Amino acid sequence: MNNSRNFSAGPGALPLKVLDEVKQSIEKIPELGISILGVNHRSDWFEKLMQQAEENLRLLLSIPESYSVLFLQGGSSLQFSMIPMNFLRGTNKVAQHIVSGYWSSKAPKEAIHEGRVNIIWSGEENHFTTLPDLNQLCLDTKSAYLHYVSNETVEGLEFHQNIENSEIPIIVDMSSNLLSRSIDISKYDLIYAHAQKNLGPAGVTVVIVRDVFLNSSVSTLPSMLDYKTHKKANSIYNTPCVFSIYVLKLVCDWLIKDIGGLLNMEIINKNKAALLYKTIDHFSDHFATHANQSYRSNMNVVFKMHDLQKESTFLNFLSQRGFSGLEGHRSLGGIRASLYNGIELKAVEDLCDSISEYFR
């Protein structure tokens, strides 16, 4: 019951069916007779599993052959450094960044160690409540790349549009919305996302990169920090996180077989978010969302009570009904309900009913 009511921002709830399969695999993988936690990463079984995980991602996201899929470690935070190391260092070009919230603010702070950085849009003055129109930005076509975050996990802001630009490389941190909806991969040169929102447990970070872009990296780097090392070694240069990749594969199986693909997942996710926003708006005498209406995230619903002193009583009331993970990020406070793929519509209905009950 409580797993189905885990609204944590990350690591987030996994689909209940996947959790059941995982439980059994910790005891033993039927065809191997041993626990997943003791499977050798150089075994034929694991090599095949990696291939299946990649094939699943390719199928779900329609990833073209001209892109590589890498399974890395170090979380999305390491990508903040690896990206400028590989694509900015030594180029004499500028890295362009959109700063739209907590996480996108972190990326340029790492890029600055490798070269010049230009923040082309910042939402800081508006306390990160809005986003820019991606297709109205004034982009420098000679820059190394544009970096942005497609869903700001802390503030609950999501870009609901694709970027239309083929003149400069586009790099996107999709940590909190990859696999939550369908996307057109061909619009991007590098996408990265850690697993612990919609893909699986923490440990593995997926990088989807256009090969031409990957090969354009000129820096000489320590092996582990060089994308080319991981491409060449099929993501088994060193010991990968076997368990996380195994669960990621199961999550993709579930998305393909039980949900029927990302178009269906997107509809479910939109319905969940619409329901919760409707309830919050209904009780607008008590609540306000952080994000302006047009940029509200379908993944992280961030809101606060007008009377901040009542928040802990409200959260306690929900906690007594088995709901967890609803506290806002430590930098912002308030309330945050994360509606990742593993959260079913029924759980959101129950949450909305409990909110209504609280004000009855």
Catalytic sites, residue numbers: 103, 173, 197
| 81 touches ligand PMP (CB under 6 A) | no
Q: What is the DSSP string of 152-218?
A: ETTTTEE--S-----SS-EEEE-TTTTTSS---GGG-SEEEEESTTTTSSTT-EEEEEEHHHHHT--
Cβ proximity of 107 and 80 under 8 Å: yes
Structure-derived torsion over alpha carbons of residues 150, 100, 299, 83, reported in degrees to the nearest 10:
40
Per residue in 311-342, is it b (16+ CB within 10 Å) or e — as a string? beebbeebeeeebebbbbbeebebbbbbbbbb
- By CB under 6 A, which span of 72-80, 216-224, 233-241, 258-266 interacts with ligand PMP? 72-80
176 in contact with ligand PMP (CB under 6 A):
yes
Q: How far is the CB of 283 from ligand PMP (least distance, A)?
A: 27
Tokens (6 digits) for 228: 């080319």
Segment near ligand PMP (CB under 6 A); pick from 41-49, 73-81, 242-250, 340-348: 73-81
Residue 341 near ligand PMP by CB under 6 A: no
Residues in 204-243 at the binding interface with ligand PMP, rule: CB under 6 A: none
CB closer to ligand PMP out of 136 and 331 = 331
241 alpha-carbon distance from chain centroid: 18
244 near ligand PMP (CB under 6 A): no
Q: Taking CA 160 as the corner, what is the angle to CA 260 and CA 279, rounded to the nearest 5 degrees?
A: 80
Sequence-separated (6 or more) residues with CB below 8 Å from residue 50: 71, 234, 235, 236, 240, 245
* Strand pairing class (145-149; 94-99): parallel
Helix, strand, coil % (nearest 5) of the chain? Answer: 40, 15, 40
Locate tokens 């297709």: which residue? 135
Q: How far is the CB of 106 from ligand PMP (least distance, A)?
A: 7
Peptide bond into 11 cis (omega under 30): yes
**CB nearer to ligand PMP: pick between 105 and 279:** 105
Q: Which stretch, 49-57, 65-73, 119-127, 172-180, contacts ligand PMP (CB under 6 A)?
A: 172-180
- In whole angstroms, the minimum distance from the beta carbon of 261 to ligand PMP comes to 24
Q: Which is nearer to ligand PMP, 10 or 200 (CB)?
A: 10
Comparing C-alpha atoms, which of 132, 144, 44, 42 is closest to residue 89?
144
Of the candidate residues 175, 198, 269, 289, the single one contacting ligand PMP (CB under 6 A):
175
d(CA 122, CA 140): 16
Residues between 179 and 208 that touch ligand PMP (CB under 6 A)? 194
Q: Where are the alpha helices (DSSP H) in 62-140?
A: 75-87, 102-111
Q: Pick from 4, 77, 229, 319: which binds ligand PMP (CB under 6 A)?
A: 77
Does residue 300 bind ligand PMP (CB under 6 A)? Answer: no
Select from 103, 188, 243, 287 the one that contacts ligand PMP (CB under 6 A): 103
User: Closer to ligand PMP at the Cβ: 153 or 341?
Assistant: 153
Binding mask 113-152 for ligand PMP (x = CB under 6 A): ------------------------------------x---
Instruction: Count the residues in the chain.
Output: 360
Q: How far is the CB of 163 from ligand PMP (least distance, A)?
A: 17
> Nearer to ligand PMP by C-beta: 54 or 173?
173
Query: Is residue 75 close enough to count as binding ligand PMP by CB under 6 A?
Result: yes
Examine residue 153 and tell whether it contacts ligand PMP (CB under 6 A). yes
**Min dist. Cβ of residue 194 to ligand PMP (A):** 4
Using CB under 6 A, which of the segments 64-72, 171-179, 271-279, 281-289 binds ligand PMP? 171-179
Instruction: Name the site residues for ligand PMP (rule: CB under 6 A).
Output: 10, 75-77, 103, 149, 153, 173, 175-176, 194
